[in-house]
Chain A
Amino acid sequence: MTIPEIFNILQEKFPEAELVLEENNPDPIIRAKCEAIADISLLLRDDPDFSFDSLMCLSGVETVEEFQTVYHLYSMLHNHKVTLRAGGTKEEELIVPTVSHIWPTADWHERESFDLFGIKYTDHPDPRRILLPDDWVGYPLRKDYEPQKTWHKIPLTAIDYKEEDNGDES
């Protein structure tokens, strides 16, 4: 099934999900309202015509205007792919319903996206940081992230040898 076909069926089934087909990309992307993602995903997995049984990748993305979560789905049965996108403006924090009950692999990917972007996933079974320590400050992959100087008294900056050698050189 091609992506425009999938898009048309989804639009019939979810008229209120504000679905948009972004066609300017090599592979078109279906954009949906954040709240509708879990329902759409459930349909995409369970409908025998779609049967998207595997979630290839789930990534957080920051664009100039907004934070996004991008889902790359694949069906081992029908051998077709689709990309979903959910996004929200930067003013308020992005809250997306979890899909970890639909594809368990999303569990860790969502934790990672929370860890690095601060995107919140409602009803996630284990909403903790995954890569960074629990008491880390900030979300590193955001473009305006300021790295921590120290963590638990461990220095995280490079030694500036130029400053130390100042006396000898001048």
Chain B
Amino acid sequence: MSEIREIDIPVGATPQKISQMLENFEDVHGERMVVQMGPQHPATHGVLRVELETDGEMIMKATPHIGYLHRCFEKTCESMTWQQVVAYTDRLDYCSSANNNLGYVLACEKMFGIEVSERVQTIRVLVSELNRLASHFIAIGTYGLDIGAWTPFLYLIQEREHILDLFDRLCGGRLLLNYMRIGGLTHDLPDNWLKEVHEYLSYMEGKLDEVNSLLSYNKIFVERLANVAIISEDMCIKYGLTGPNLRGAGKKWDLRKNEPYCGYETYDFDIPVGDGEVGTIGDCWDRYIVRVKECEQSMRIIKQATERLEKMPGDDVLAAIPKSMTKVAPGEIYFRTEHPKGELGFYIVSNGKKFPWRLKCRAPSFSSLSVMSAVSPGLLIADMVALIGSIDIVLGEVDR
């Protein structure tokens, strides 16, 4: 028999709050239904499958299933020479391949004690920051797409295409660069390339404000994201969430500042953090806006790096590349860098031979995704899409 009961739901209550209130009325719950989201779903950013146990529109339990893109990166690397592995790191997080290259080559350089020149370091910073921009543009654009805004995606892809043109001129690849080598780079910058970067920067002036007015502060967008799927700082650290997700939770933490590498300590830039501008600290909107603000900071770094390179005398970028890597120092190392998605770590074990003995990639998206089953109870199904987009996962990196 059904009976009508009144519950006072305060105005502006979050779904979590409502679900807590409903806990007291166990018979109010309907039958639980299992919904499969993915692996073919436009909003899962690839081939993620999430098993949702729902009560009406409310998610009671979410179990992510990964491995649909397990390409055996770690096994393959054990049969590749040290330099060949660089090409495979490209394909980990295919949105930001230069940053993957950087993480790997820096780890190897630290292990084998290779010093590179300042010019090489600056070029590396420049290229990886450009790639960070490209990666964040995809993250922001597709996030709008997930929430239902098609136009910002088109604009952002357009801005990204200009970066890809620069990469195209630089090394022939649009998406996968394969530009860095242990001890240097594949080749020097092409003529006039720095001028083009300058032109790009002046072209980009004010474009991020457009993004903000078109998307960030759009009422519908804010309503969809504010107070949704809050991940606190404590939870971020526990679950290994790093990068923009951790900064979105209000923690001022950036490996470029806290553990500088590649000369990042000499650049002048800020670490944007989430401050709960439209909702609570650590909600989807905060994680999103940190990425937009980070784009600004990346542009500052690019500007400084370009100016430095213009003044710097040219030298041989291939000078420090070891002639032969058939015999290397044995040992093991864990080295981490700040990747657009978070902390990218490489744990490398060398037994002194031609090939890496073991190479483990600690992928930021892998850890970020593991928080999903802890955060999702109490969310609506539509919020699930917002959550997946806000932690910005790339399945190539999750599954490796």
Which B362-378 residues have C-beta < 8 A from chain A? 362, 366-367, 369-370, 374
Let me know if A108 and B347 touch, CB within 8 A.
no
Question: B70 contacts A59, CB within 8 Å?
Answer: no
Indicate which residue in B67, B72, B240 contacts A55 across the interface (CB closer than 8 Å). B240
Q: Bound complex: CA of A61 vs CA of B258, how far in Å?
A: 29
Known: A26-B331, A61-B358. Is A76-B370 also a contact (CB below 8 A)? no
| A133 contact set on B, CB distance < 8 A | 67
Give the number of A-B contacts (CB < 8 Å). 80
Inter-chain CA distance A72–B333, complex, in Å, is 10
B343 interface residue (CB < 8 Å to A): yes
Q: How far is the CB of B56 from chain A (nearest CB, A)?
A: 26
Judge if A20 is at the interface, Cβ distance under 8 Å.
no
Q: Does A88 contact B (CB under 8 A)?
A: no
Q: Which residue of B lies closest to A61 (CB)?
A: B358
A129 nearest CB across to chain B (Å):
8
A141 within 8 A of B: yes
Within 8 A of A (CB), among B73-115: 74-75, 110-111
Report A73-111 residues with CB < 8 Å from chain B CB. Answer: 76, 79, 83, 103-105, 107-108
In the assembled complex, the CB of B113 is this many whole angstroms from the nearest CB of chain A, namely 9
Q: Are A54 and B360 neighbours in the complex by a CB distance under 8 Å? A: no
Q: Please name all residues of chain B whose beta carbon is closer than 8 Å to the beta carbon of A116 when the two chains form the complex.
A: 74
Q: Which residues of A contact B264 (CB under 8 A)?
A: none
- Indicate if the CB atoms of B345 and A26 lie closer than 8 Å: no
Report B-chain residues with C-beta under 8 Å of the C-beta of A62.
Answer: 358
Q: Which of A1-50 contact B (CB under 8 A)?
A: 24-27, 29
Q: Which of A119-136 contact B (CB under 8 A)?
A: 129-133
CB distance A61 to B238 under 8 Å?
Answer: no
Among B258, B366, B400, contact of A108 (Cβ-Cβ < 8 Å): B366
CB distance from A63 to the nearest CB of B (A): 8
Partner of B240, one of A54, A59, A63, A130: A54
Contact B370 A104 (CB under 8 A): yes
* Alpha-carbon distance between A63 and B358 when the two chains are bound, in angstroms: 9
In contact, B345 and A56 (Cβ under 8 angstroms): yes
CA distance A145 to B78 in the complex (A): 13
Residue from the list A25, A105, A112, A141 in contact with B332, Cβ < 8 A: A25
How many residues on A have C-beta within 8 angstroms of the other chain's C-beta atoms?
Answer: 34
* Given contacts A131-B70, A132-B67, A59 and B253 within 8 Å (CB-CB): no
Q: Which residues of A contact B366 (CB under 8 A)?
A: 108, 112
Whether A59 contacts B360 in the complex (CB less than 8 A), given A105-B240, A108-B366, A140-B75, comes out as yes
Q: Within 8 Å CB of B358, what residues of A?
A: 59, 61-62, 141
B370 touches A105 (CB 8 A): yes
- Known contacts A26-B331, A131-B67: does B253 contact A76 (CB below 8 Å)? yes
CA distance A72 to B238 in the complex (A): 14
Q: Does B154 contact A (CB under 8 A)?
A: no
Pair A72/B347 contact, Cβ less than 8 Å: yes
- From A55, A57, A105, A130, B347 is in contact (CB under 8 Å) with A57
* Residues of chain A with a CB closer than 8 A to B347's CB: 57, 59, 70, 72
Is the pair A72, B334 in contact by a Cβ cutoff of 8 Å? yes
Given contacts A26-B333, A76-B237, A132-B70, contact A141 B253 (CB under 8 A): no
Verify A57–B334 contact, CB threshold 8 A: yes
Bound-state CA distance A57–B374 (Å) is: 20
The one of B74, B238, B360, B400 that contacts A103, using a Cβ cutoff of 8 Å: B238
B399 in the interface, Cβ–Cβ < 8 Å? yes
A residues in contact with B336, CB < 8 Å: 56
Inter-chain contact A53/B360, CB cutoff 8 Å: no
| Whole-angstrom CA separation of A76 from B240 in the bound complex | 12
Nearest chain B residue, comparing its CB with the CB of A106: B240
Q: A131-B70, A132-B70 are in contact. Are A26 and B349 (CB under 8 A)?
A: no
Which residues in B have their C-beta under 8 angstroms from that of A26?
Answer: 110-111, 331, 333
- A141 touches which of B66, B75, B238 (Cβ 8 Å): B75
- Name A's B-contacting residues (CB within 8 A): 24-27, 29, 53-57, 59, 61-63, 70, 72, 76, 79, 83, 103-105, 107-108, 112, 116, 129-133, 140-141, 145
List 7 A-B pairs, Cβ < 8 Å: A25-B331, A53-B238, A61-B360, A103-B238, A131-B70, A131-B399, A141-B75
Known: A70-B332, A141-B358. 9 other contacts (CB 8 A): A27-B333, A59-B362, A61-B358, A103-B238, A105-B239, A105-B370, A116-B74, A129-B67, A140-B72
- Interface on B for A, CB 8 Å cutoff? 66-67, 70, 72, 74-75, 110-111, 237-240, 253, 258, 331-334, 336, 343, 345, 347, 349, 357-358, 360, 362, 366-367, 369-370, 374, 399-400
Closest 4 A/B residue pairs (Cβ):
A105-B240, A131-B67, A59-B360, A57-B362
